[in-house]
Amino acid sequence: MGDIGLPASIPPVVVSSETSPPPPPPAKNKLFLGTFIHSKTLGLLEYLHKTAVAVNSLGTVVAISPDTDLTTAQTVLLPQLGWSPDTTDITTAKPNQFFFPGFIDTHLHASQYPNAGLFGNSTLLDWLNTYTFPLEASLSELSKAKKVYSRVIAKTLSHGTTTAAYYATIDVAATNLLADLCLASGQRALIGRVCMDQLGPSYYLDESPGESITKTKQCIEHVLQQDPKMELITPVITPRFAPACSAPLMTQLGQLAKETNLPIQTHISENKNEIALVGRLFPDAGGSYAEVYDTFGLLTPKTILAHAVHLTDKEADLVRERGSKVSHCPCSNSAIASGAARVRWLLDKGIEVGLGTDVSGGYSVSVLEAARQAVLVSRHVCMDEGRSGEEREKLSVEELVGLCEVDSDEEGEEEGNVDVFGWESWEERVAKWVYNGDDRNTKKVWVRGRLVHERR
Amino acid sequence: MGDIGLPASIPPVVVSSETSPPPPPPAKNKLFLGTFIHSKTLGLLEYLHKTAVAVNSLGTVVAISPDTDLTTAQTVLLPQLGWSPDTTDITTAKPNQFFFPGFIDTHLHASQYPNAGLFGNSTLLDWLNTYTFPLEASLSELSKAKKVYSRVIAKTLSHGTTTAAYYATIDVAATNLLADLCLASGQRALIGRVCMDQLGPSYYLDESPGESITKTKQCIEHVLQQDPKMELITPVITPRFAPACSAPLMTQLGQLAKETNLPIQTHISENKNEIALVGRLFPDAGGSYAEVYDTFGLLTPKTILAHAVHLTDKEADLVRERGSKVSHCPCSNSAIASGAARVRWLLDKGIEVGLGTDVSGGYSVSVLEAARQAVLVSRHVCMDEGRSGEEREKLSVEELVGLCEVDSDEEGEEEGNVDVFGWESWEERVAKWVYNGDDRNTKKVWVRGRLVHERR
């Protein structure tokens, strides 16, 4: 749904398989009644009022029925579906509530969650050494990892994140724990063990390319053991970023991606000092960060590239040719002063762009906050380029909501800091939610028909 | 306290008067026990743990006692003060809670609150016509004004705003209603009837300079009648902004300010098209927006100038010479693409800078959100100027908290989206609060010893 965002690697919401649902199996069919708002195409929201959506016990949407209220649903729709009221959970949104597709966070570091908001005045490379590596390394203690990962899953769900592309750490056991916790919580996730055999401190490095590959395979096998069809969790090949990976490691990761057809996630062109470092480490690439990854077969249609703040024209063309996607992380890019990504330019190139919170370079686990900041940063891009008459750089609320891709459903309500006076149009209510909404407005979250979060 | 922010016009928190407290009088003495965090100087927070602060029934802080717990307070401090436990309200912060000075919102339009988050892709001048003037005009209906003003006062209090510099509308009765509601709610406020005799639509204009002055005086008299010593509410002379005020009107407003010694608030140099318009309307000022106001005697040490995004060097020098203050409104400046104010440059000039939410050019009533955005925007300023090595443009969390001036006290607690794992330093807790805090973290708010908000 929509032409942007959902990486090809993420299992679609409509599951056609009729066998072996993941644990725990949803017990009942579900019927949702009320207003549904979703992104029809980029920049265009569709408002479906007085609508019924029927989801069977396997999580498959089996009917979308317009002009249907509770009575019609009970007397006409349920009989048509052959569903009895006794085996159907019916959720009716209040007049000021609406159902909205769940958010996909296309880039965040589960392991860095305790550092959200902590970065001082640092920028990328010193931030890694000061804040990030010590915390990530400490999660090899599994009790600590369990505490951190449980919280980040609960928090992201409470903000409506139904799918998350997670970086864990280099530790196999802790990464597998993250996978287990996502599965138990019902959150759809990409689970990435971080590969890095250089740049990091001695206490936090894969010892060799071979060890890095072995450990990565162990994590892949664990996920496939737990969720063989990757219905909820999927392994993702995760070279941290080019400066932290030797050429032999990246060669082997590229081969692994080819063999397994698994998704890849990494960072690209986030910070100017980082780009200069890549230029020095990989002189054969002629200063092209994108070409470094491409050389090693890491730019695939299933690759998520976080940031892409300073891509050159030629690099962007290469990314588009390979069909790789970009995760735009405005909170992080502003917070650690990386730059202002030119999202309109990326979209115009034909590159698919999704939103990432990039916790903890980004300070918030909320994709809604990322959407808000993406709107604001797009205005800085517009102003920086001195195009006071050229308004195309600005992203609209509708476009940003469009970037938060369809996944599952959440039920929103105006309250908390979204103050609705009663005279607002639905478009205005959505704008108010984008600018002042928070987790209080997300009442219930479902993934594959399972209620995974409820606000009490 | 601190060298920045509190406009000279706002009554200080320590009230020395011994007579006629404003209604309703606080009944009891108050003792606050726990951790107090406040801005000692710009950029430096002081952490006072295990401290007692005694506030008498008139709202005056009469003792700050270090190393004092509940027992010490009851056995030593209260007897010293001659206070009996029966006539003293004791509030003890929990170990993870702290007391923090209340926020001063130096610029917001109470009348525009229903439009918070609504601006589409507009910029200043079209935003005024599309969103702002119709709403402001509609508040001449007093029942609507009451609804809007009651909500904005309750909301700002819930976010810890103990003092607000409000723009109302051109309507006298509605402006006086705002004053009455602030007084009843216990929020300290500057109350500004908006003066504008040009630019606005025919349905929303003062008919002449004379009418504008008469109506302004009516509002001043009303406030002085309700709160003769201006202990809680203060009238503020409010020329909307230069393009909306004729030269005769500004002349008379300057005279009124001189006669009454009242504060002034207006907008300056927000948007490039606006600046060009000022240049055309006031050709004698040679393109200097600041000089327009100065010509009419409107740049005083009691003047709050909102925005100041595009001031020239010469204009900034003039503002500093006159002792006028700047209200920095980063949410608004980004949202309606006005620009990125160079706060460090203003501070270096010696100009006092406070924070404003500028609702509804700004989307949020939260001064904490304004602080957060000020940090982020300062990074864009840093990046725009291409000073990757020059980090001085960046504002730190500590500085931004410093800009939220001391007023009264609020009691904060880590919860909501501030996730504290237990190993954080107090500095890190404050950073987490600045980046992820919201009204849920503000438990109780006092102004002049009166509890004006409590979160349940």
Contact A435 B117 (CB under 8 A): yes
Q: Is A40 on the interface with B (CB under 8 A)?
A: no
**Structure tokens given for B428:** 């890190």
Looking up tokens 């994709």 gives A367
Query: B376 and A432: CB-CB below 8 Å?
Result: no
Assess contact for A309 and A340: CB atoms under 8 A: yes
Residue of B272, B363, B423 with shortest CB distance to A388: B272
pLDDT, tens digit, for every residue of B325-359? 999 999 999 999 999 999 999 999 999 999 999 99
Verify whether the Cβ–Cβ distance A337 to B379 is below 8 Å. yes
Q: How far apart are CA A187 and CA A174, in angstroms?
A: 17
pLDDT at A409 over 80: no
Q: How far is A198 from chain B (nearest CA, A)?
A: 25
Calpha distance B363→B347 (Å, rounded)? 25
CB-nearest partner of B337 from A272, A366, A383: A383
Q: B29-100+408-454, which class in CATH? A: mainly beta
Residue A304 has pLDDT above 50, yes or no: yes
Cβ separation B334–A380 shorter than 8 A: yes
Query: Which among B437, B397, B433, B421 is positioned nearest to A112, based on CA atoms?
Result: B421
pLDDT digits (tens, 9 = 90+) for B98-132: 898 889 999 999 999 999 999 887 889 899 999 99
Contacts B359 to A, Cβ<8 Å: none
Which residues in chain B have their CB less than 8 angstroms from residue A439's CB?
417
pLDDT for B18 equals 34
Beta-bridge partners for B409 = B101
Contacts of B342 in chain A (CB under 8 A): none
| Residue A114 near chain B (CB below 8 Å) | yes
A101-139 confidence digits (pLDDT tens)? 889 999 999 999 999 999 887 889 899 999 999 999 999
Out of A363, A373, A396, closest to residue B121 by CB: A396
Selected residues 303-342 of chain B with any CB under 8 Å from a CB in chain A: 334-335, 337, 339-340
Q: Look at A116 and B435 and tell me if their CB atoms are within 8 Å.
A: yes
User: Are B391 and A421 a contacting pair at CB < 8 A?
Assistant: no
- Decide if A116 and B335 are in contact by the 8 Å CB cutoff: no
Place of tokens 């265009």: A44
Separation in Å, CA of A229 to nearest CA in chain B? 34
Number of H helices, E strands in chain B: 16, 18
Helix (H, G, I), strand (E, B) or coil at B23: coil
Q: Indicate the DSSP class of residue A231.
A: S
Phi-psi bin for B245: left (phi > 0), alpha (psi -120 to 50), beta?
beta
Closest chain A residue by Cα to residue B386: A339
Contact A332, A116 (CB under 8 A): no
Which residues 6+ apart lie within 8 Å of B424 measured at CB? B432
Residue to mutate among B310, B329, B363, with most A CBs inside 10 A, is B363
Contacts of B120 in chain A (CB under 8 A): 396-397, 431
Q: Before A360, cis peptide (omega within 30)? A: yes
> Which of B121, B157, B368 is best to mutate for the A interface (most A CBs within 10 A)?
B121
Q: Which residues of B touch A151 (CB under 8 A)?
A: 419
Please check the confidence at residue B400 and state whether its pLDDT lies above 70. no
* B389 in reach of chain A (CB within 8 A): no
B396 touches chain A (CB under 8 A): yes
CB contact under 8 A, B432 and A118: yes
Q: Residue B219: helix, strand or coil by DSSP?
A: helix
- Collapsing DSSP states into helix, strand and coil, what is residue B246? coil
Q: Could you read off the pLDDT of A4-49 as tens digits, one per residue?
A: 233 333 322 222 233 344 555 556 899 999 999 888 888 888 999 9
ipTM: 0.89
Q: Are B269 and B275 in contact (CB under 8 A)?
A: yes
Pick among A384, A417, A440 to test the B interface (most B CBs inside 10 A):
A417
The confidence band for A389, taking pLDDT boundaries of 50, 70 and 90, is very low
Model confidence at B3: pLDDT above 60: no
> Are the C-beta atoms of A110 and A145 separated by less than 8 Å?
no
User: What pLDDT, on a 0 to 100 scale, did the predictor assign at position A456?
Assistant: 77
Residue B327, φ and ψ in degrees, nearest 5: -100, 115
Cross-strand bridge partners of residue A355: A328
Cβ–Cβ of A417/B366 closer than 8 Å? yes
Closest approach of A395 to chain B, Cα-based (Å): 8
Q: What is the distance in angstroms between the Cα of B121 and the nearest Cα belonging to chain A? A: 7
Residue B210 has pLDDT above 50, yes or no: yes
The chain B residue lying nearest A331, using CA atoms, is B376
Strand order in the sheet with B103-109: B103-109, B161-167, B188-192, B233-235
Give B146 to chain A, closest Cα distance, Å.
12
Q: What is the predicted pLDDT for the residue at B401?
A: 53
- In this prediction, residue B366 carries a pLDDT of 96
Chain B touched by A130 (CB under 8 Å): no
Q: Cβ contact (<8 Å) for A432 and B396?
A: no
Q: Is B286 helix (H, G, I), strand (E, B) or coil?
A: coil
Q: A306: closest CA among A370, A390, A389?
A: A370
Q: Any chain A CB within 8 A of the CB of B150? A: no
Expressed in angstroms, the distance from the first to the final Cα of chain A is 31
- Per residue, what are the HEC states of A118-185? CCCCCCHHHHHHHHHHHHHHHCCCHHHHHHHHHHHHHHHHHCCEEEEEEECCCCHHHHHHHHHHHHHH
Percentage of chain A beyond pLDDT 90 is: 68
Residue with tokens 């460090």: B344
**Closest-CA residue in chain B for A385?**
B384
Distance CA A407, CA B281 (A): 53
Write the residue in A118, A335, A419 that is nearest to B428 by C-beta.
A118
CA distances from A52 to A57, A72, A81, A97, B251 (A): 16, 10, 12, 14, 63
Say whether pLDDT at A404 is over 60.
no
3-state secondary structure of B165: strand
- Contact flag B438-A417 (C-beta cutoff 8 Å): yes
Nearest chain B alpha carbon to A393: B121
Tell which residue, B155, B329, B130, B169, has the closest CA to residue A421: B155
| Tokens representing residue B392 in the block | 């001085």
Residue type, A456: R
Interchain pair B396, A120: CB under 8 A: yes
- In B, residues 154-213, which contact A (CB 8 Å cutoff)? 155
Instruction: Tell me which H or E stretch contains A51.
Output: strand A44-55
Residue B7 has pLDDT above 70, yes or no: no
**Residue A48 contacts B where some CB pair is shorter than 8 Å:** no
Selecting from A120, A121, A379 the residue whose C-beta is nearest the C-beta of B334 gives A379
Cis amide prior to A22 (ω within 30 degrees)? no
- CA A453, CA B2: separation in Å to the nearest integer? 45
Q: Are B435 and A364 in contact (CB under 8 A)?
A: yes
Q: The tokens of A158 are what?
A: 């409470």
Residues 253-282 of B with CB under 8 A from A: 272-273
Domain boundaries, chain B: 29-100+408-454, 103-403
CB of B363 within 8 Å of a chain A CB? The answer is yes
Contact with chain B for residue A139, Cβ under 8 A: no
CATH fold for domain A103-403: TIM Barrel (3.20.20)
Q: Give the distance, in angstroms, between the CA of residue B236 and the centroid of all CA atoms in the same chain.
A: 13
Structure confidence by residue, pLDDT tens digits, B159-175: 999 999 999 999 999 99
Task: Say whether A379 and B114 touch across the interface (CB within 8 A).
Answer: no
| B394 touching A (Cβ < 8 Å) | yes
Edge to edge, the sheet with strand A161-167 lists: A103-109, A161-167, A188-192, A233-235
**pLDDT score at A411:** 61
Across the range A260-284, mean pLDDT stands at 97
Q: Return the pLDDT at B23.
A: 52
**B-chain residues near A273 (CB < 8 A):** 388
Q: What is the average pLDDT score of chain B?
A: 88
Residue whose pair of structure tokens reads 């009575």 in the numeric block:
A71
Residue A141 forms contact with B (CB below 8 Å)? no
Q: Report the mean per-residue pLDDT for chain A.
A: 88
Which A residues in the span 55-84 are in contact with B, Cβ-Cβ below 8 Å?
A: none
Count of CB contacts below 8 A, A vs B? 114
Instruction: Specify whether the CB–CB gap between A93 and A412 falls below 8 A.
Output: no
Q: Is A131 in the B-facing interface, judged by CB distances under 8 Å?
A: no
Q: Which residues contact A118 (CB under 8 A, 6 or more apart)?
A: A131, A360, B428, B431, B432
CB contact under 8 Å between A436 and B382, yes or no, is no
For the ranges A11-25, A311-325, A380-394, B192-206, the lowest mean pLDDT is seen at A11-25
